[in-house]
Amino acid sequence: MTKKERAKYIAAKLDELYPEIPIPLDHADAFTLLVAVLLSAQCTDKRVNIVTPALFAKAATPQAMAKLSVEEIKVCIQTCGLANTKAKNIKALSEMLVREFDGEVPRDFQSLEKLPGVGHKTASVVMIHAFKIPAFPVDTHIHRLAQRWGLTSGKNVVQTEADLKKLWPPGQWEKLHLQIITYGREHCTARGCDGTQCIICRTCFPHRKNPFITKKA
């Protein structure tokens, strides 16, 4: 298969497996999605969804969140890991949203990435899911699978994102982002598949005999 043929097959297979796929983080708007994504760093989506109801019951807007102390935020999110840093960032970004953006989550990458604790991947998730502005967030699952499937060299996540954007049109990015992450968690896992086990790896590279070594993000 050529790279384009693999990309076409992969999209079709993922559509077969996941014809409808929801955003895994519970949220009500751009702000609650932003906070949930920030909390998901080194934490499962399931755990984030357990802790956010209590947090958002106290403060579901930047204005309300900015009024909470770091300790109050920390109490709500302490089981997420990195609670100290995340609590400080949530308060600081809420204050910045109120101070510089009239309490609204900005709709551009440059402004989003100025917010405390918000990197390019988090900004990409907010842009594509909250605002439907084309973006292709690349997390560790996508970075791993894109390499195993021969869609990128794996040099870094920036290159992986650029390579994937060339293979599929913008209208497919949101769904593919969610589909690849889910497939990476369920079938092509870090330890459960070495590039030779899952159906997509076997189909794309039927003659691959040795484990494929992926580069970390």
CA atoms within 13 A on the CB side of 54: 12
Question: Residues 6 or more apart from 179 whose CB is under 8 A from it?
Answer: 14, 15, 17, 18, 21
- Encoded tokens for 183: 């497939």
Q: Was domain 30-130 assigned CATH 3.40.50.360?
A: no
Sequence letter at residue 117: G
What is d(CA 183, CA 145) in angstroms, rounded to the nearest whole number? 9
Q: Of 52, 97, 46, 98, nearest to 76 (Cα)? A: 52
Q: Where are the domains of the chain?
A: 3-21+136-204, 30-130
Residue 34 tokens, joined:
């932003």
How much is the pLDDT for 154? Answer: 83
Contacts of 167 (CB under 8 A, 6+ apart): 3, 4, 7, 151
Mean pLDDT by 10 residues, the chain (217 residues): 96 98 96 97 94 97 98 96 96 98 97 97 97 95 96 92 97 97 95 94 96 87
CATH architecture group of domain 3-21+136-204: Orthogonal Bundle (1.10)
